[in-house]
């Protein structure tokens, strides 16, 4: 199952809750995840550029593409056609949504259902011919359907209370939905041939967002009860309702067959990059500019090493970086093209650097805008600085003790990485370990460090990749005198230091 987790990162979990990994490329706060039929893409809603829009992450190519650009409306709840070629989504403002369809690459957008009422939560039929949705277009929120090619919507079923979040069974004979009534919500199933409606959950709690298992024998849904949200499963006949262990805080499940490229298999020994909060701040003046220097430290707290193999052909000046993932019981698999390595020709380096391993940013708290970024030349990843300060299971002797092919600009291949329990540390002002403060107004800022910022390297978790400081910048001697930077708060595990949620 692929599930959103509120302010946390979207997660893939086994149906029994025994295996849980965070999906690459999706950020904290992204919602509405839906896996493509092939299992290698996930479409979702994100406000990463300010407004809720539809995006798709491609596990094969390691890219995220924005599919909608609609600043005047919220684009949400994307759903795949059964052949993975098209998407349906809702667009509008609260209480006034319409439905639209487009090709999976974002092209050929067209209106599907519009007019009076609020049309939401669309779901494609397994045969690809119809799209079910929830609508109050008749003055009451019921289940409706429309031909996937367009046309006049038809009422599927009038439902006592309000019908939400329809989901087709894999054989197309039934639709599960959430029926809201008198302050309660339960999961019901509509048999399309007979029109019979039957409850499959009951009792206290708000049961919502049902989705079918791929074999059609059971359902997963979100239950809110006692101030807690979690995932539950129930058989299609209403028997055997049970909470999924470890699912607290998770919601909006999509039960799907997910490829290994999107959610690694249990045999993978994945690394886990834990970015520590910036430390060792210092302000210096150089060449008429005021720069804020800082230490950066990244620790591998995962189940296996981060192994990077770089290769290049004869005419290329850069190496293509591939990640080698070791597996339990021996063997490995390769995730290709996770980045680039460049040869750095200045003291004290003269070796091959992995680009964009950690990114440094300064954001204004008042506007949230990015005001400064690093000019870091990259990282030579080795177990240079020893073990982390705390005991981490699986820590052993250092494995990466090379020098990233120092003095060998002609090298065709290089291996670098980080062993479990070891840290990659860089001191303040060390070739890009600084940001320019010159000309910035006094006020509150966030200094953010992001490990694996593009989520290209596969990890067990991504929710610990960001860390930040809340700072106050002042210029007591005026804009030409050295500024004062005061740390107000340290926030490991979040880029939003100073937010109420952070």
Whether residue 363 is predicted with pLDDT greater than 70 in this model: the reply is yes
Q: How many CA atoms lie within 13 A of 205 on its CB side?
A: 19
pTM confidence score? 0.77
Percentage, residues of the chain above pLDDT 90: 67
Q: Answer whether 337's CB lies under 8 Å from 308's CB.
A: no
Q: Answer whether 411's CB lies under 8 Å from 352's CB.
A: yes
Q: Which of 78, 23, 20 is nearest to 46 (CA)?
A: 78
- The full set of domain ranges for the chain reads 73-254, 273-492
Question: How many Å is the Cα radius of gyration of the chain?
Answer: 25
- Please report the pLDDT score of residue 501 as a whole number: 44
Greater pLDDT, 460 or 318: 318
- Please report the pLDDT score of residue 9 as a whole number: 72
How sure is the predictor about 60, in pLDDT bands with cuts at 50, 70 and 90?
A: low
Q: How far is the CA of 127 from the CAs of 33, 35, 105, 209, 227, in angstroms?
A: 21, 17, 21, 22, 39
Whether residue 61 is predicted with pLDDT greater than 70 in this model: the reply is no
Question: Assign residue 413 a region: left if phi > 0, alpha if psi is -120 to 50, beta otherwise?
Answer: beta
SS3 label, residue 18: coil
What is the rounded CA–CA span in Å between residue 300 and residue 145? 50
What is the rounded CA–CA span in Å between residue 9 and residue 460? 12
Return the sign of the alpha-carbon dihedral for residues 42, 82, 145, 214: negative
pLDDT digits (tens, 9 = 90+) for 440-480: 999 999 999 999 988 889 888 888 999 999 999 999 999 99
SS3 content of the chain, % helix, strand, coil (to 5): 0, 50, 50
pLDDT digits (tens, 9 = 90+) for 262-296: 777 778 899 999 999 999 999 999 888 999 999 99
Q: Which residues contact 341 (CB under 8 A, 6 or more apart)?
A: 308, 310, 318, 319, 321, 352, 353, 354, 355, 378, 414
Per CATH, the architecture of 73-254 is what?
6 Propeller (2.120)
Q: Return the structure tokens found at 277.
A: 């909060």
Greater pLDDT, 246 or 443: 443
Q: Which residues contact 316 (CB under 8 A, 6 or more apart)?
A: none
Q: Return the structure tokens found at 313.
A: 């052909």
Q: Answer whether 192's CB lies under 8 Å from 211's CB.
A: no
Least confident of 182-186, 230-234, 419-423, 431-435: 431-435
């Amino acid at each position: 199952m692929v599930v959103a987790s509120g302010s946390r990162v979207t997660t893939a979990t086994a149906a029994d809750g025994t295996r849980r990994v965070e999906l690459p490329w999706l950020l904290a706060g992204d919602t509405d995840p839906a896996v493509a039929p092939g299992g290698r893409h996930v479409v979702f809603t994100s406000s990463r550029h300010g407004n809720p829009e539809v995006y798709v992450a491609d596990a094969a190519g390691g890219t995220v593409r924005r599919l909608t650009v609609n600043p005047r409306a919220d684009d949400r709840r994307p759903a795949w056609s059964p052949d993975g070629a098209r998407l349906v989504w809702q667009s509008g403002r609260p209480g006034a949504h319409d439905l639209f369809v487009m090709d999976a690459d974002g092209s050929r957008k067209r209106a599907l259902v519009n007019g009076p009422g609020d049309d939401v939560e669309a779901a494609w039929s397994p045969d690809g011919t119809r799209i079910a949705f929830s609508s109050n277009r008749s003055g009451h929120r019921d289940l409706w359907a429309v031909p996937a090619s367009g046309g006049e919507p038809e009422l599927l079923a009038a439902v006592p209370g309000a019908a939400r979040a329809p989901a087709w069974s894999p054989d197309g004979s039934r639709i599960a939905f959430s029926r809201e009534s008198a302050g309660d919500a339960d999961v019901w199933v509509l048999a399309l041939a007979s029109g019979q409606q039957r409850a499959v959950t009951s009792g206290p709690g708000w049961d919502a967002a049902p989705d079918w298992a791929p074999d059609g024998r059971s359902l997963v849904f979100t239950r809110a009860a006692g101030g807690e949200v979690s995932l539950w499963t129930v058989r299609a006949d209403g028997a055997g309702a049970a909470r999924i262990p470890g699912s607290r805080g998770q919601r909006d499940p999509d039960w799907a067959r997910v490829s290994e490229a999107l959610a690694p298999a249990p045999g993978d020994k994945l690394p886990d990059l834990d970015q520590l909060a910036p430390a060792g701040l210092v302000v210096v003046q150089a060449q008429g500019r005021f720069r804020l220097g800082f230490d950066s430290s990244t620790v591998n707290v995962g189940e296996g090493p981060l192994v990077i193999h770089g290769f290049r052909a004869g005419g290329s000046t850069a190496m293509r970086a591939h990640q080698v993932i070791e597996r339990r019981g021996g063997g490995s698999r390769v995730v290709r093209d996770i980045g680039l390595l460049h040869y750095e020709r200045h003291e004290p380096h003269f070796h091959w650097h992995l680009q964009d391993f950690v990114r440094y940013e300064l954001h204004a708290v008042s506007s949230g805008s990015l005001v400064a970024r690093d000019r870091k030349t990259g990282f030579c990843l080795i177990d240079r600085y020893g073990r982390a300060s705390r005991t981490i299971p699986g820590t052993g002797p250092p494995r990466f003790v090379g020098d990233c092919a120092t003095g060998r600009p002609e090298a065709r291949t290089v291996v670098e990485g980080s062993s479990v329990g070891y840290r990659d540390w860089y001191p303040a002002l060390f070739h890009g370990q600084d940001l320019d403060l010159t000309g910035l107004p006094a006020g509150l800022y966030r200094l953010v460090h992001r490990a694996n910022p593009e989520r290209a390297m596969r990890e067990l978790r991504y929710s610990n990749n960001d860390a930040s400081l809340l700072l106050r910048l002042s210029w007591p001697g005026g804009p030409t005198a050295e500024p004062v930077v005061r740390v107000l708060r340290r926030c490991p595990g979040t880029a939003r230091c100073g937010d109420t949620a952070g």
